[in-house]
Amino acid sequence: MKSTVKEIQERFDADVERFSNLYLGQQSTIDSVLNMELIAEGITRTYPKKIKLLDIGCGAGNYTIKLLTKKKDVAVDLLDLSEPMLARAVQRINSHGPTAVKAYHGDFRTVNLPGESYDVIIATSVLHHLREDADWSENFSKIFRLLADGGSLWVFDLVKQNSDELQDLIYSELYGQYLAGLDGEQYREKVFSYIEKEDTPRPLIEQLDLLRRVGFKSVDILHKNLSFASFVAYK
């Protein structure tokens, strides 16, 4: 059985400190620092003027904080399932500089957000918690509706391969070697265990196709390394 929403929330409630480090909070996530830089720089170059940002599953706020080191004129809306994570994100962003911040606590699927009002939506290491096909389609559609014309979605997440053979090679073998190299075999098994219980990643190509089907004009891949990828979709 996969984790319930409450179980996922409780795990993150208890892990705020680890995720409050801009560079070390997600060491199990390959190239997290590179992707944080890519997304922040990509947004900055795409939108030279003031923007309104929604960070879905913001955690302790790392991706928004990274963006604010490059771009100051950002109105920030944060959303997270974990109230302690959300509080830490607000605290860190407020201490970073004069930025308008609004926080939404809850599940993205049910939280009421202002439609067609965001220039940029960030979703990092959060979409893999979606389960059934309908869940993916409904939430990609919701993201599309929340964006203003010309807005964009920026994603970094765990992905799987379409081929079982490639999934075994890229995820089980090569990503497994990466995890074991970080902190040994027990660490690899710990990460694989909570991914198996908590996550339901989808193939990168499948997600890009779904984004087009719900209405996005164009999509682009920023980076992929083994089981992690970043990509962008434009409304």
Q: What is the CATH number of the domain that holds 71?
A: 3.40.50.150
**pLDDT higher than threshold 70 for residue 98:** no
**What is the arithmetic mean of pLDDT over 96-107?**
85
Question: Taking all residues of the chain, what is their mean pLDDT, rounded to a whole number?
Answer: 91
Range(s) of the domain holding residue 118: 5-161+201-234
- Over residues 189-217, the pLDDT tens digits come to 999 998 998 899 999 999 999 999 999 99
**pLDDT higher than threshold 80 for residue 89:** yes
- Show the DSSP H helices in 160-221 as ranges: 164-167, 176-198, 204-213
Residue 72 has a pLDDT of 86
**pLDDT higher than threshold 60 for residue 116:** yes
Residue 186 lies in a domain: no
Residue 114 lies in a domain: yes
Q: Cα separation of 39 and 222, whole Å? A: 8
Q: Cα separation of 185 and 76, whole Å? A: 40
**What is the arithmetic mean of pLDDT over 185-191?**
93
- Over residues 77-88, the pLDDT tens digits come to 999 998 988 999
Residue 86 has a pLDDT of 93
* 46 confidence band (pLDDT: 50, 70, 90): very high
**pLDDT higher than threshold 80 for residue 127:** yes
Domain count, the chain: 1
Say what angle helices 176-198 and 5-13 make with each other, to 10 degrees.
130
Residue 168 lies in a domain: no
Residue 169 lies in a domain: no
**What is the arithmetic mean of pLDDT over 136-154?**
97
Residue 198 has a pLDDT of 87
Residue 115 lies in a domain: yes
* 161 confidence band (pLDDT: 50, 70, 90): very high
* 17 confidence band (pLDDT: 50, 70, 90): low
Please indicate, yes or no, whether the overall pTM of this predicted structure exceeds 0.85: yes
Nearest to 201 by CA among 127, 133, 134: 127
Residue 27 has a pLDDT of 78
Residue 188 lies in a domain: no
Residue 111 has a pLDDT of 95
Residue 152 lies in a domain: yes
DSSP 6-47: HHHHHHHHTTTTGGG-TTTTTTTSTTHHHHHHHHHHHHHHH-
Residue 46 lies in a domain: yes
